[in-house]
Structure 1
């Protein structure tokens, strides 16, 4: 793990000695950058602090806590490195491992290193233009953090490696990521395809299944869904008429949101019916 900050990064380590940087740089150059970097290994077992000075687009000198002193990259950086190697500056730089790196690790660890967001997983289908060409099953994992994720395809319990294509990992812009892993295949009736997603935020992998069905089975399922909704409509209508015709009881109005029912059913069976 590494952590990088510009010159404005907090906290101030201490009041450091005055630097000769400004007086040594030529006015025709237009950009001065100072970067402070913290590199962590195995948590906090090993911490490395780097202070880099960049003039224009070239690094001219740097301090490395592993070395314990500053090194010039160019002639322009040589007097600055010599100045940084004075005891008063070295004392300041030596303290940066604890006061800058360790401090920021403790301060931001919960929202960076320890941040965990579980992925949302779904399977969608892309039907081939020709019956002679394989179709695509697309496993989408979205909204997860950190970015490391493992996605596998299985067919009838056996892992598939041929025909698996992973798209580029994408940033969502909100500290989460998304990725699509596609399987090119020719499904046969009854084949069961499983997408398995492993991520550090999960105690157990997420698995989603897709079952290949014949066109006849799909039509029968669609007819069955339509028949169920139609039968439910007539049942409710009959109940309303029955309640209305009762002389001794109040009229009870029963209302069902058919739009919501149809939408839910459509979402559940969309991939099967469209494939």
Structure 2
């Protein structure tokens, strides 16, 4: 019994972490495939993307479709390991993933649609463990993730803004223009505030808030140092935003471990 009490709090999360880690890699890859299939012609006109396999002609659309089918099948294999509520919730995200590449043709907010797709795991992860979504906690967490995606993907989009104008691609980088630093700072504050609110509503402890504080400091550092007119600087800023997510993650892990320690 002592061994069971020691292992159970960590075995169950590790099982879900493995499933979601694998699922995230597979579905992120599927999203990239869909994006490249949609954008084959556009990618030829953008310096950074013209060497992609479809744009360069190394792969045909038929070959890409077969590869996509394999990715989606693998993703389905992961999804069916979850409860039915989560299976339906996860399957519903595919529509957002599919339409995202089209959005850059019709709106200056494709990054917002990307945020809706990328942060679906905030809902799916909760439902997989608890059996259903607690919307009071998950909605602010989801919204905070969407704001975070808007920050890092807008910085990413600044790399291609000159080519985007030429080929007719729209983005928040073009929409925000010279006001990017101010707007992205506001979105960063919104992201951190919403994630903090989610932690408060879920009764997280001090370790979580330390992680969120480090994430806030990292976003502030990125936005202070990024030159939105220099491609290399934007790339560093984009990568730097990922570290803010890392610190939120580490805070949540530390909080979970500290909560479980009294059970040992």
- Scaled by the length of structure 1, the TM-score of the pair is 0.22
Specify the structure having the higher radius of gyration (Cα). Answer: 1
Higher helix share: 2
Higher strand share: 1
